[in-house]
Structure 1
Amino acid sequence: MPIQFNEPTRVFTLHTKNSTYQMQVDKHDYLLHLYYGSKIENQDMSYLLQYNDRGFSSNPAESIKDRTYSLDFLPQEFSVFGMGDYRESALQLVNTDGSFDVQLKYGSHEIYKGKRKLEGLPASYGTEDEVETLVIHLVDEVTKVAVDLSYSVFEALDTITRSATIINGGEGDVYLEKVMSCCIDFMNRGDFDYMTFYGKHTLERQVERTPIRHGKVSVESVRGCSSHQQNPFVILCDQDANEVHGECYGFSLVYSGNFKATVEVDQINQTRFVMGIHDTGFRYLLQSGEHFVAPEVMMVYSEQGLGEMSRNYHALIQEHICRGKYKKARRPVLINNWEGTYFDFTSEKLASIAKDAGELGIEMFVMDDGWFGVRNDDYAGLGDWFVNTDKIQGGLKKLVDEVNSYGMKFGIWFEPEMVNEDSDLYRAHPDWCLKTPTREGNRSRYQYVLDMSREDVREYLYESITVILKEANIEYIKWDMNRHLTNVYSLNLPANRQGEVYHRYVLGLYDLLERLTTENPEVLFEGCSGGGGRFDAGMLYYSPQIWTSDNTDPIDRLRIQYGTSFGYPVSSMGAHVSAIPNHQTGRITPLNTRGVVAMSGTFGYELDMNKMTEEEKEVVKEQVATYKRNYDTINYGKYYRLTNPYSKERFVAWQFVADDGLRSLVNFVLTKPEHNPPIINIKLQGLQPDRKYRVAGTDECYTGAALMKAGYHLKEQFGDYTAVQIELELCD
Structure 2
Amino acid sequence: MITQNDKVFGLHTKNTSYCFRVLESGHLEHLHYGRKIRMEDGYLPLVEERTFVEGNAIAYDNQYPGLSFENMCLEVSTLGTGDVREPMVQLTYADGSTTSDFRYDSHEILEEMEDRETLPGSYGTCETLKMKLKDANHNVWLYLYYQVYEECDVITRSAKIVNEEKEAIQLNRFLSNQVDFDENRFELLTFHGSWTNEMNRDTVSLTHGIYVNDSKTGTSSNRSNPLMILKDEDASEDYGDCYGFNLIYSGNHFEAVEVTGYEKVRFLSGIQPNGFSYELNMGEAFESPEAIMTFSHEGLNEMSHHMHAFVQDHVVRGPWRTKERPILINSWESFYFDYNQSKLLKLAKQAKSAGVELFVIDDGWFGERNSDDCSLGDWDVNPKKFPGGLMDFTKKIKALDMEVGIWIEPEMVNEKSKLYEEHPDWIVGIPNQRQALGRNQYILDLTRSEVRDHIVAKICALLETSGVSYVKWDMNRIFTDQYSISLPANRQGEFMHRYVMGLYEVLGRITSRFPEVLLESCAASGNRFDLGMLCYSQQIWASDNTDAVCRARIQYGYSYGYPMSALACHVSSCPNHQTLRNTPFETRFQVAAFGVLGYECNIAELSSFELEQMKEQIRFYKENRKNLQFGTFYRSEDSTKGNYQWITVSKDQRKAYAFLMQKEIHAHHAACKLKVRGLNKEFIYELKNRPLKFSIKDFGSLVNTVSPVHIKKDSIAESIADRFVKMDSEKEHKVASGDVFMYGGVKLRPSFCGVGYNENTRFFTEYGSRIYVIQAI
- TM-score (normalised: structure 2): 0.91
Q: 1:484 to 1:609 in 2, by over 3 A?
A: same
- Equivalent residues of 2:220, 2:251 under 8 A apart: yes
Question: Match of 2:614, SS?
Answer: helix
Q: Partner residue of 2:60?
A: 60
Tell whether 2:542 aligns with 1:545.
Answer: no
Following the alignment from structure 2 to structure 1, what is the Cα–Cα distance between the partners of residues 382 and 635?
Answer: 46
Show the 5 A alignment for 1:140-219. 140-187=135-182, 189-219=183-213
Residue type of the partner of 1:157? C
Q: 1:246 to 1:600 in 2, by over 3 A?
A: same
Tell whether 2:430 aligns with 1:430.
Answer: no
Q: Partner residue of 1:70?
A: 68
Which of the numbers 30, 33, 37 marks the counterpart of 2:30? 33
- Equivalent residues of 1:374, 1:388 under 8 A apart: yes
Show the 5 A alignment for 1:377-456. 377-456=371-450
Show the 5 A alignment for 1:308-319. 308-319=302-313
Q: Partner residue of 2:701?
A: none
- Equivalent residues of 2:32, 2:46 under 8 A apart: no
- Equivalent residues of 1:643, 1:654 under 8 A apart: no
Tell whether 2:119 aligns with 1:112.
Answer: no
Following the alignment from structure 2 to structure 1, what is the Cα–Cα distance between the partners of residues 637 and 622?
Answer: 25
Cα distance, 1:699 vs structure 2:
5.6
CA offsets 1:98-142 (integer angstroms, 9 cap, x no match): 111111000000001122332221211112xxx111000011142
Cα distance, 1:646 vs structure 2:
3.2
Following the alignment from structure 1 to structure 2, what is the Cα–Cα distance between the partners of residues 396 and 588?
Answer: 36
Cα distance, 1:40 vs structure 2:
1.4
- Equivalent residues of 2:237, 2:637 under 8 A apart: no
- Equivalent residues of 1:24, 1:46 under 8 A apart: no
CA offsets 1:285-316 (integer angstroms, 9 cap, x no match): 10000000000011011010000000111111
Following the alignment from structure 1 to structure 2, what is the Cα–Cα distance between the partners of residues 609 and 699?
Answer: 33
Following the alignment from structure 2 to structure 1, what is the Cα–Cα distance between the partners of residues 529 and 184?
Answer: 30
Which of the numbers 218, 226, 231 marks the counterpart of 1:232? 226
RMSD (Å), alpha carbons: 1.2
Residue type of the partner of 1:346? N
Following the alignment from structure 1 to structure 2, what is the Cα–Cα distance between the partners of residues 552 and 663?
Answer: 28
Residue type of the partner of 2:667? H
Q: Partner residue of 1:709?
A: 743
Question: Match of 1:646, SS?
Answer: helix
Following the alignment from structure 1 to structure 2, what is the Cα–Cα distance between the partners of residues 13 and 522?
Answer: 40
Tell whether 2:601 aligns with 1:598.
Answer: no
Q: Partner residue of 1:727?
A: 773
Cα distance, 1:335 vs structure 2:
0.6
Question: Match of 1:219, SS?
Answer: strand
Tell whether 2:630 aligns with 1:636.
Answer: yes
Following the alignment from structure 2 to structure 1, what is the Cα–Cα distance between the partners of residues 82 and 558?
Answer: 39
Following the alignment from structure 2 to structure 1, what is the Cα–Cα distance between the partners of residues 212 and 433?
Answer: 32
Question: Match of 1:72, SS?
Answer: helix
Q: Partner residue of 2:122?
A: 124
CA offsets 1:666-715 (integer angstroms, 9 cap, x no match): 11112122332141011201111121111248763221111111111222
CA offsets 1:638-665 (integer angstroms, 9 cap, x no match): 1011244331x5x311101100001111
Residue type of the partner of 2:37? I
Cα distance, 1:472 vs structure 2:
2.0
Residue type of the partner of 2:74? Q
Following the alignment from structure 2 to structure 1, what is the Cα–Cα distance between the partners of residues 299 and 70?
Answer: 32
Following the alignment from structure 2 to structure 1, what is the Cα–Cα distance between the partners of residues 318 and 416?
Answer: 37
Question: Match of 1:511, SS?
Answer: helix
Q: Partner residue of 2:764?
A: 718
Residue type of the partner of 1:275? S
Residue type of the partner of 1:398? D
Q: Partner residue of 1:700?
A: 734
Q: Partner residue of 1:675?
A: 667
Question: Match of 1:306, SS?
Answer: helix
- Equivalent residues of 1:105, 1:139 under 8 A apart: yes
Question: Match of 1:125, SS?
Answer: coil
Tell whether 2:136 aligns with 1:136.
Answer: no
Following the alignment from structure 1 to structure 2, what is the Cα–Cα distance between the partners of residues 318 and 718?
Answer: 35
Residue type of the partner of 1:74? M
Residue type of the partner of 1:704? G
CA offsets 1:209-248 (integer angstroms, 9 cap, x no match): 1111111000000110000100011001100110111111
Following the alignment from structure 1 to structure 2, what is the Cα–Cα distance between the partners of residues 410 and 708?
Answer: 43
- Equivalent residues of 1:34, 1:45 under 8 A apart: no
Q: Partner residue of 2:706?
A: none
Question: Match of 2:94, SS?
Answer: coil
Following the alignment from structure 1 to structure 2, what is the Cα–Cα distance between the partners of residues 718 and 218?
Answer: 41
Question: Match of 1:359, SS?
Answer: helix
Residue type of the partner of 1:53? V
- Equivalent residues of 1:22, 1:45 under 8 A apart: no
Residue type of the partner of 1:725? I
Following the alignment from structure 1 to structure 2, what is the Cα–Cα distance between the partners of residues 46 and 426?
Answer: 65
Residue type of the partner of 2:239? H
Question: Match of 1:157, SS?
Answer: coil
Tell whether 2:15 aligns with 1:15.
Answer: no
- Equivalent residues of 2:484, 2:492 under 8 A apart: yes
Following the alignment from structure 1 to structure 2, what is the Cα–Cα distance between the partners of residues 575 and 683?
Answer: 24
More displaced 10-residue stretch of structure 1: 47-56 or 581-590: 47-56
Question: Match of 1:124, SS?
Answer: coil
- Equivalent residues of 1:346, 1:393 under 8 A apart: no
Which of the numbers 92, 97, 100 marks the counterpart of 1:99? 97
Count, aligned residues: 720
Q: 1:346 to 1:300 in 2, by over 3 A?
A: same
Q: Partner residue of 1:616?
A: 610
Following the alignment from structure 1 to structure 2, what is the Cα–Cα distance between the partners of residues 227 and 182?
Answer: 20
- Over the matched positions of the two proteins, sequence identity in percent amounts to 41
Q: Partner residue of 1:691?
A: 683
Following the alignment from structure 1 to structure 2, what is the Cα–Cα distance between the partners of residues 371 and 138?
Answer: 54
Tell whether 2:660 aligns with 1:661.
Answer: no
Cα distance, 1:324 vs structure 2:
0.3
Question: Match of 1:228, SS?
Answer: coil
Question: Match of 1:325, SS?
Answer: coil
Question: Match of 2:589, SS?
Answer: helix
Following the alignment from structure 1 to structure 2, what is the Cα–Cα distance between the partners of residues 50 and 268?
Answer: 15
Q: Partner residue of 1:245?
A: 239
Q: Partner residue of 1:371?
A: 365
Q: Partner residue of 2:354?
A: 360
Following the alignment from structure 2 to structure 1, what is the Cα–Cα distance between the partners of residues 222 and 86?
Answer: 25
Which of the numbers 502, 506, 509 marks the counterpart of 1:512? 506
Question: Match of 2:686, SS?
Answer: strand
CA offsets 1:575-633 (integer angstroms, 9 cap, x no match): 00000000001110111100000001110000111111221111111111111111121
Following the alignment from structure 2 to structure 1, what is the Cα–Cα distance between the partners of residues 215 and 134?
Answer: 31
Q: Partner residue of 2:49?
A: 50
Q: Partner residue of 1:80?
A: 78
Cα distance, 1:517 vs structure 2:
0.7
Question: Match of 1:507, SS?
Answer: helix
Residue type of the partner of 2:317? R
Following the alignment from structure 2 to structure 1, what is the Cα–Cα distance between the partners of residues 317 and 528?
Answer: 18
Q: Partner residue of 1:257?
A: 251
Cα distance, 1:719 vs structure 2:
2.1
Cα distance, 1:47 vs structure 2:
4.6
Cα distance, 1:330 vs structure 2:
1.3
Q: Partner residue of 1:575?
A: 569
Following the alignment from structure 1 to structure 2, what is the Cα–Cα distance between the partners of residues 279 and 406?
Answer: 52
Tell whether 2:493 aligns with 1:499.
Answer: yes
Runs of 4+ in 1 over 6 A off after TM superposition: none
